[in-house]
Amino acid sequence: MNNCQFCGEPATVHLTDIVNKKKREMHLCEACARQQNLIPSAPSPQLNLPALLQLLMNQFPSPSDGSETDELDPSVLTCPTCGLKYAQFRADGRLGCPEDYEVFYPVIVPILERVHRGLQHKGKVPSSVRNRRKLDEVSDLKTQLNDAITAEDYEEAARLRDRIRSKETAE
Amino acid sequence: MNLDRLLPNLGEWLRGIGPESDVVISTRIRLARNLAETHFSNRASLDQKAATEARSCEAIAAAELPYKLEYADVTKLTPIDRQFLVERQLISRELATVLDGPRGVAFNETESVSVMVNEEDHLRLQVMRSGLALEEAWAEIDRLDDALEHRLAYAFHDQFGYLTACPTNVGTGMRASVMLHLPALSLTKEIEKLFRSLQKINLVVRGLYGEGSRASGDLYQISNQVTLGKSETRVMQEIREVITQILLYERRARQLLLKERRQAEQDRVARAIGTLGSATMITSEETMELLSTVRLGIQLRLIDEIPPTTVNQLFIHTQAAHLQKLMGTPLDGEERNAARAKYLRNRLRELGAQQR
């Protein structure tokens, strides 16, 4: 049984996160969890995720504090497209435009590591992206084919030609 | 749009049929999608929101789908109509009351498919199925997503997948939820233990309207938290495995109730029907609690005079906005409690008359 780290009462809300294989825990009583806005006042359908994110970010301000000298200061980040500032993102946990995922990349990655179990999307890809990827792949193979022909490596060229054909016919 | 025509229908999620419908009320999948090269809703100007709405409506109207999606402009609906759509699970509370500017929802006639526009994300696609039907719901929403993507360029990132306003949704943008009726596990207090174990495997449990640990009417929604790093199929597989276990526990607890305290349960169910049929004031909370007991009574075959679909109808019709639409007039809290009791008395009397 853990006690609330804010007031010492028995804790009923437990947060666990794992960063760089190190496990960290937070324990709160319901009253303090409410005070931190983790539990919204009824009736609202779910845990307050922005508040949860904010608490985690405040608790662990930087994932690699001090260990790297060229650590960038996230407070200076501002999105040139939508004007979102880091402080605003920290305040409500919402991004302003697709571009923000690049602009705030260094601060988003640790959040994603905590919330999700991975950093690489696995799953559905829009058909337009799939088609683009296939075209890129075919044009890569064509470059390799030209190189192989120039180098008079006809065995490799034949192999590449077959792969291009199979990709172009596989609709 | 005149929403009154929806009133007699139960909507897909309360049809009361489908696989495992003795425990599973409904399956819901939602996908969060955003248009590329424009601000997310929370930083969009009113003009940008209007443009997003126009583009989305155009794509929705032109989408090649076996059903027709009709768009309701939420800003033009009365507060009661907005609440009505929330109660029918077609829109979120946020879209109804918190957000501002151009926004709305398109949905089909059976209310199994809906698309919210300018919610936290530009598009929130939703597919509902009664009972446990994750694969069917996925197939349906995948097709809807393809049809819309054909006409809209989505914000997609090679590493992070579908980009969303909140990093908690990025990746697949998918939330799959299964709504369960767990009266026996609630009675035997095993539910807390169950929920603690679910949290360890990153599944989220919440009540129908999310209050406290004991959900209204013993209804619980179980959904995934992770959207990045796992495929949609894998996430659904994990949920399915967990649901299979819970079904086993709930059914075992129900059998135990029958074996050890049949008489007491029979009495509890009879009293629930008695209260529903004779109260002159009743809150929505109490109604849901009593209907949960009646629902359990039906599943345990302790009563046979009330069909399960009637319980679902009483359940939805006694929600605040439904009740006010049925009565045809806005009512304050006290008036609603009286109107709800009157509605329940009449409906149970009709059922009794049909029996004789």
Q: Could you read off the pLDDT of A14-30 as tens digits, one per residue?
A: 776 665 556 667 777 77
Position A43 scores a pLDDT of 47
Confidence of residue A11 (pLDDT cuts 50, 70, 90): confident
Q: Which of B159, B172, B192 to mutate to test the interface with A (most CBs of A within 10 A)?
A: B159
Interchain contact, A115 vs B167, CB within 8 Å: yes
CA distances (Å), origin A146, targets A141, A159, A163, A164, B49: 9, 12, 14, 12, 49
Give the pLDDT score at A100: 95
For residue A132, name the pLDDT band (cuts at 50, 70, 90): confident
Give me the residues paired with residue B186 across strands. none
* Mutation site for B-interface testing, chosen from A116, A128, A136 by largest number of B Cβ within 10 Å: A116
Check A122 against B227: CB less than 8 A apart: no
Q: How far is A34 from chain B (nearest CA, A)?
A: 12
The per-residue DSSP string of B47-103 comes to HHHHHHHHHHHHHHHH---SS--EEEEGGGS-HHHHHHHHHTTSS-HIIIII--SS-
Using the beta-carbon criterion (under 8 Å), do B161 and A108 form an inter-chain contact?
Answer: no
Count other C-beta atoms under 10 Å from residue A99's C-beta: 18
Give the pLDDT of residue A67: 44
Element (H, E) at B235: helix B232-278
Instruction: Report whether pLDDT(A59) > 80.
Output: no
Spatial distance between the Cα atoms of A112 and B130, rounded to a whole number of angstroms: 33
Residues of chain A in contact with residue B202, where contact means CB-CB under 8 angstroms, are 117
Instruction: Kindly tell me if the per-residue pLDDT of A36 is higher than 80.
Output: no
How many Cα neighbours within 13 Å face the side chain of A118?
15
Mutate to test the interface with A, among B45, B97, B158, B170 (most CBs of A within 10 A): B170
Chain B residues whose CB is inside 8 A of the A83 CB are 43
pLDDT of A66 reads 43
The 10s digit of each residue's pLDDT in B15-66 is: 878 889 999 999 999 999 999 999 999 999 999 999 999 999 999 999 999 9
| Percentage of residues in chain A having pLDDT higher than 70 | 71
Is the pLDDT higher at A102 or at A32? A102
Quick one: pLDDT at residue B88?
93
Tens digit of pLDDT for each residue in B57-70?
999 999 999 999 99
Q: If you measure CA to CA, which chain A residue comes closest to B42?
A: A96
- The reply to whether residue A123 touches residue B172, judged by beta carbons under 8 angstroms, is yes
Q: Is the pLDDT of residue A72 over 80?
A: no
Distance from CA of A154 to the nearest CA of B (A): 35
Contact criterion met (CB < 8 Å) for A97 and B168: no
Pairwise CA distance, residues A104 & A107, whole Å:
6
pLDDT of residue B150: 94
Residue range A112-137: average pLDDT? 90
Contacts of A101 in chain B (CB under 8 A): 157, 160, 163, 170
Measured CA distances, B28 to A124, B15, B179 (Å): 18, 14, 8
Element (H, E) at A96: none
pLDDT, average across residues B122-144: 97
CA B39 to chain CA centroid, nearest Å: 29
Please name the residues between 99 and 118 in chain A that touch chain B, using a CB distance below 8 Å. Answer: 101, 108, 111-112, 115-118
Q: Taking residues A54-69, what's their average pLDDT?
A: 52
Contact at CB, B209 and A82, closer than 8 angstroms: no
Say if the Cβ atoms of A94 and B209 lie within 8 Å.
Answer: no
Residue numbers in A near B36 (CB within 8 A): 98
Structure-block tokens of residue B69: 């999606």
User: Mean pLDDT of all residues in chain B?
Assistant: 92
Using a CB-CB cut-off of 8 Å, the residues of chain A touching B209 are: 42-43, 45
A7 touches B: beta carbon within 8 Å: no
Q: Which chain A residue shows the shortest CA-CA distance from B200?
A: A16
pLDDT in tens, B245-289: 999 999 999 999 999 999 999 999 999 999 999 999 999 999 999
Please answer yes or no on whether A97 and B43 come within 8 Å at the CB atom: yes
A112 to B160: CB separation less than 8 angstroms, yes or no: yes
Contacts 24+ apart (CB under 8 A), A98-103: A98/B34, A98/B36, A98/B37, A98/B40, A98/B155, A98/B157, A98/B163, A101/B157, A101/B160, A101/B163, A101/B170, A103/A77, A103/A78, A103/A79
Chain A residues with beta carbon closer than 8 angstroms to that of B156: 125-126, 129
More reliable by pLDDT, B51 or A139: B51
Question: Nearest-CA neighbor of B177 among B228, B140, B126?
Answer: B126
A120 part of contact set with chain B, CB < 8 Å:
yes
pLDDT higher than threshold 80 for residue A47: no
pLDDT at position A79, please? Answer: 94
User: What is the CA A19 to chain-centroid distance, rounded?
Assistant: 13
Asked if A117's CB is within 8 angstroms of B202's CB, the reply is yes
pLDDT at A112: 94
pLDDT of residue B74: 97
Q: Answer whether B206 sits within 8 Å of A93, measured CB to CB.
A: no
Q: How far is B164 from chain A (nearest CA, A)?
A: 8
A97 touches B: beta carbon within 8 Å: yes
Query: Average pLDDT, stretch B82-89?
Result: 94
Write out pLDDT tens, residues B191-229: 888 888 888 888 888 877 654 445 688 999 999 999 999
Closest residue, chain B, to A45 (C-alpha): B210
Neighboring chain B residues of A119 at a CB cutoff of 8 Å: 159, 228-229
Contact A123 B231 (CB under 8 A): yes
- Residue A10 pLDDT level (bands cut at 50, 70, 90): confident
A126 close contact with B: CB closer than 8 A: yes
* pLDDT above 80 for A101: yes
- How sure is the predictor about A54, in pLDDT bands with cuts at 50, 70 and 90? low
Rounded distance between C-alpha atoms, residue B246 and residue A168, angstroms:
48
Residue B131 or B16, more confident: B131
Residue B229 has its nearest CB partner, among A46, A47, A119, at A119
Q: Which residue has the higher pLDDT, B188 or B256?
A: B256
Q: What is the DSSP letter of A40?
A: P
Could you say which DSSP state residue B210 is in?
-
